[in-house]
C-alpha cells in the first residue's frame, strides 16, 4: 500500500533512534540516505551521558554530513536507555538536564536542526507533583531560550499511558497547557506541541479533532500505525486521511517517521512512501 496524494504535500524525516536501530549509530545516516532520505531526527543518542566527549560529538556530526543528511530534531537528555521519560521535571536529574541543554543545542545547531524535544519526565514517588511542575516550567523556559538561540522550536510531547504510566502528559490538551505556560513565561513563543499520532491514538484521542483544535500549536508531527507502532498500513490508523487533514489545517512542517519495521530490515519498511517523496523538500 502506498500513500501518494496526501503524502506528497509533506516533507519527511526519519527517526534514527528507532529505525535502522539494527545498525551502529554512526552507520544509520548513510543507511537513511541509501533509502532515499535526506533528513533525520534522534532521541538523545549518547545514553546516560549528558555531556559526551568532543570526539563522540564530532563523529556523529561527520556521520550526518558525510551522508548528506540533515539532523532536523534532537531530544534533550531523555534517559530512555534506563527507562526514563525525560529528566527536566525530576529534582534529582535537574542539574544533568541543565548541563545537557547547551551541549544538545550546540550539536543540533551545528547540523541545522530546527527542533529540540524536551520529554517532561515521570512522576516521582514521594515528590509533590506541584514541585515537579514548577521545576519543569523553569527548566523548559531555560531550554526554550537555548532553542531560540539556534533558531529552533522547543517541543513538548504527550506519551501514551499504557507504555508510560508514570508520565503526566497523556493527552494533547495536557501537553498544550504546558506549551502555553512556557510561552507565557518566556515571551518567545517558540514552545510547540509535538503531535505524535501514535501516542495520541493509543490514548484514545480523536485525532482529527486534535489536528483541528491545535493546528496553530503543532511544531512537529510523528507517525506510526496503531497498534504495534509499525509502519503505516499495518494497523488501524487512516494515515492518508490524517496527512490530508494536517495539510488542510495548514501544517507545513515535517512528518517524523518514528516506527518499528513490522518485518525484516528497516530499509524494507518504507514501501508506503514512494521513494521520490522521501527526500526533504
Arch. (CATH architecture) of 7-277: Alpha-Beta Barrel (3.20)
Catalogue the active-site residues: 157, 258
**Cis amide linkage into residue 185, ω under 30° from 0:** no
Q: Across the strands, what pairs with 256? A: 13, 222
pTM for the whole structure? 0.97
Residue 80 confidence (pLDDT): 98
What is the full per-residue pLDDT of the chain (281 aa) written as tens digits?
A: 565 578 999 999 999 999 999 999 999 999 999 999 999 999 999 999 999 999 999 999 999 999 999 999 999 999 999 999 999 999 999 999 999 999 999 999 999 999 999 999 999 999 999 999 999 999 999 999 999 999 999 999 999 999 999 999 999 999 999 999 999 999 999 999 999 999 999 999 999 999 999 999 999 999 999 999 999 999 999 999 999 999 999 999 999 999 999 998 999 999 999 999 999 88
Residue 1 confidence (pLDDT): 54
* 3-state SS record for the chain: CCCCCCHHHCEEEEECCCCCCCCCHHHHHHHHHHCCCCEEEECCCCCCCCCCCHHHHHHHHHHHHHHCCEEEEEECCCCHHHCCCCCCCCHHHHHHHHHHHHHHHHHHHHCCCCEEECCCCCCCCCCCHHHHHHHHHHHHHHHHHHHHHCCCEEEEECCCCCCCCCCCCCCHHHHHHHHHHHHHHHCCCCEEEEEEHHHHHHCCCCHHHHHHHHHHHEEEEEECCCCCCCCCCCCCCCHHHHHHHHHHCCCCCEEEECCCCCCCCHHHCCCCCCHHHCCCC
Residue 231 confidence (pLDDT): 97
Q: Which residues contact 58 (CB under 8 A, 6 or more apart)?
A: none
Instruction: Please report, in angstroms and rounded to a whole number, the separation of the first and last CA atoms in the chain.
Output: 23
The predicted-structure confidence for 23-51, as pLDDT tens digits, reads as follows 999 999 999 999 999 999 999 999 999 99
Amino acid at each position: 500500500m502506498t500513500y501518494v496524494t496526501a503524502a506528497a504535500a509533506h516533507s519527511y524525516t526519519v527517526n534514527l533512534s528507532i529505525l535502522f536501530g539494527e545498525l551502529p549509530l554512526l552507520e544509520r545516516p548513510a543507511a537513511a540516505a541509501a533509502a532515499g532520505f535526506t533528513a533525520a531526527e534522534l532521541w538523545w543518542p549518547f545514553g546516560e551521558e549528558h555531556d559526551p566527549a568532543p570526539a563522540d560529538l564530532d563523529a556523529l556530526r561527520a556521520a550526518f554530513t558525510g551522508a548528506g543528511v540533515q539532523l532536523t530534531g534532537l531530544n534533550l537528555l531523555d534517559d530512555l536507555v534506563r527507562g526514563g521519560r525525560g529528566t527536566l521535571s525530576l529534582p534529582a536529574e535537574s542539574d544533568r538536564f541543565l548541563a545537557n541543554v547547551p551541549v544538545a543545542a550546540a550539536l543540533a545547531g551545528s547540523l541545522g536542526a530546527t527542533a529540540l524535544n524536551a520529554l517532561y519526565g515521570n512522576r516521582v514517588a514521594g515528590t509533590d507533583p506541584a514541585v515537579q511542575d514548577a521545576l519543569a516550567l523553569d527548566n523548559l523556559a531555560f531550554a526554550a531560550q537555548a532553542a531560540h538561540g539556534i533558531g529552533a522550536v522547543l517541543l513538548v510531547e504527550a506519551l501514551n499511558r499504557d507504555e508510560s504510566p508514570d508520565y503526566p502528559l497523556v493527552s494533547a490538551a495536557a501537553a498544550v497547557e504546558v506549551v502555553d505556560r512556557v510561552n507565557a513565561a518566556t515571551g518567545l513563543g517558540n514552545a510547540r506541541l509535538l503531535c505524535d499520532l501514535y501516542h495520541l491514538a493509543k490514548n484514545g484521542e480523536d485525532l482529527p479533532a486534535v489536528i483541528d483544535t491545535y493546528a496553530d500549536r503543532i511544531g512537529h508531527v510523528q507517525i506510526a500505525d496503531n497498534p504495534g507502532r509499525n509502519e503505516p498500513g499495518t494497523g488501524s490508523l487512516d494515515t492518508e486521511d490524517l496527512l490530508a487533514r494536517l495539510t488542510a489545517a495548514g501544517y507545513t512542517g515535517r512528518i517524523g517517521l518514528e516506527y518499528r519495521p513490522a518485518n525484516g530490515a528497516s530499509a524494507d519498511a518504507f514501501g508506503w512512501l514512494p521513494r521520490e517523496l522521501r527526500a526533504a523538500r
